[in-house]
Amino acid sequence: MAFKNKVAIITGAASGMGLLAARNLCAEGAKVILTDVNKAAAEAAAEDIRGNGGDAMGMEVDVRNYAQVENAARAALEKYGRIDLLLNFAGGAEGRMLKCPAPFHEMPIDVIDWGLDVNLKGAVYFCRAVLGTMIRQKSGVIINLGSVTGMEGGGNGAVNYSAAKSGLVGLTKSIALCGAPYGVRACCVSPGPVLTRPDMANMKTRLGRAAEPREVVDLILYLCSDKAAFITGTNYMIDGGRSCGGME
């Protein structure tokens, strides 16, 4: 079991790739704290994992609220005594999430703030909350979930989302520099379209399809594992060749 007794905190863990990562980590022996703004969904997901023999707890955490973020890190230490992995999955394009399909120059400031807070500041907050523990342990891995949009840019309503996701690359490099002397690694994974919702199938890639969620999660778990012990500070594109350019 590759992650036996490892302790992981996952944000946005009540659904999608965050939930899949939680299930897979628990199947490999990890103890997982599933955090999500949807308390009932996080607790239900954790209960389901426990029902299948895993060790998991669900917590309500709004990544925009540092007190809640810090409380999740504290709860992990109180229950399990350590934090080995942080997977920052929480995020989403603010125009879609808040049902505000406006071009950037007409987008309300509160919508822009939501996007920056959830997609960038939330990851910054969680990195801040766990890095000290990982430094004291002299071990740990942090994975930030970027996006191909952060690499290629995005017009219309994706300007803000692209800015936030590209910021995660800089965050990852910086955390890698802070953690390297203590054996703490950080990586960013930037997917193209992923079939977490049907309309992603319409986003073009060189391979002619969107990724299955498990393909992205498999890469993330590899980077979390000891097999990737010499990898830190880098951004991994998993986009079916979309970032090669020339896509309409």
Residues involved in catalysis: 161
Q: Which of 32, 44, 45, 40 is nearest to 72 (CA)?
A: 32
Q: What 3-state DSSP class applies to 76?
A: helix
Sign of CA dihedral 18, 21, 47, 4: negative
**DSSP result, 113-145:** HHHHIIIIIHHHHHHHHHHHHHHHHT-EEEEEE
Contact between 233 and 186 (Cβ < 8 Å): yes
Contact between 217 and 20 (Cβ < 8 Å): yes
CA angle 115–116–118, rounded 5-degree value = 65
Placement of tokens 């191909």 in the chain:
148
Token pair, residue 117, equals: 């807070």
Q: Which of 74, 102, 84, 70 is nearest to 30 (CA)?
A: 84
Burial class (CB in 10 A: 0-12, 13-18, 19+), 215: middle
